[in-house]
């Protein structure tokens, strides 16, 4: 039953996506394909995939217990807070905190999680900002 619901929601989302694509105003300077092509391709793929899921669902899944679902929800909250805090505290600090929390919830010890968070944050910063020259959110410390 859950696959059928998921499939129907996907079909509704695909229809809404296609309707939004048709509402895109085309400029007289657009290329031969136009700005509607890519969203319509995505809507078509989403609609067909969702239709297959709704018509031929998998057997009912075994849902995890409430405590495990609460952990998944907490991870979603952490990722949403991460996105909100990036411009406030900067990439390095926000990434270190989020990566440390997620690492801890995946089973690492507290010390290993903190080291993983800091290592991930500094490593990504070094590669993307220092090596590739990409702009990342700066925090109160300037990095």
**What's the confidence (pLDDT) of residue 89?**
93
Q: Which residues of 30-68 are buried (b: 16+ CB within 10 A; e: fewer)?
A: eeeeeebeeeeeebeebbeebeebbeebeeeeeeeeeee
Mean per-residue pLDDT for 131-143? 84
Instruction: For 77-119, give the DSSP string.
Output: HHHHHHHHHHHHH-HHHHHHHHHHHHHHHTT--HHHHHHHHHH
Q: Is the pTM of this model over 0.85?
A: no
- What three-state secondary structure class fits 2? helix
Least confidently predicted of 21-25, 43-47, 86-90, 112-116? 21-25
Predicted pLDDT at 124 = 95
Cα–Cα distance, 52 to 29 (Å, whole number):
38
- Residue 26's Cβ-count burial label (10 Å; 0-12, 13-18, 19+) is exposed
Per residue in 14-65, pLDDT (tens digit) is: 999 999 999 988 777 667 777 888 899 999 999 999 999 999 988 877 888 9
Task: Please give the average per-residue pLDDT across 88-99, as a whole number.
Answer: 94
């Amino acid at each position: 039953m859950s696959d059928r619901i998921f499939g129907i929601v996907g079909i509704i989302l695909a229809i809404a996506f296609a309707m939004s694509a048709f509402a895109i105003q085309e400029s007289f300077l657009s290329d031969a394909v136009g700005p509607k092509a890519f969203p319509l391709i995505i809507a078509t793929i989403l609609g067909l995939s969702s239709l297959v899921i709704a018509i031929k669902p998998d057997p009912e899944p075994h849902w995890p217990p409430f405590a495990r679902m609460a952990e998944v929800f907490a991870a979603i909250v952490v990722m949403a807070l991460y996105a909100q805090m990036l411009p406030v505290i900067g990439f390095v600090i926000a990434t270190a905190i989020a990566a440390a929390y997620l690492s801890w919830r995946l089973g690492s010890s507290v010390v290993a999680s903190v080291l993983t968070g800091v290592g991930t944050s500094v490593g990504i910063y070094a590669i993307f900002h220092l090596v590739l020259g990409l702009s990342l959110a700066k925090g109160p410390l300037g990095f």
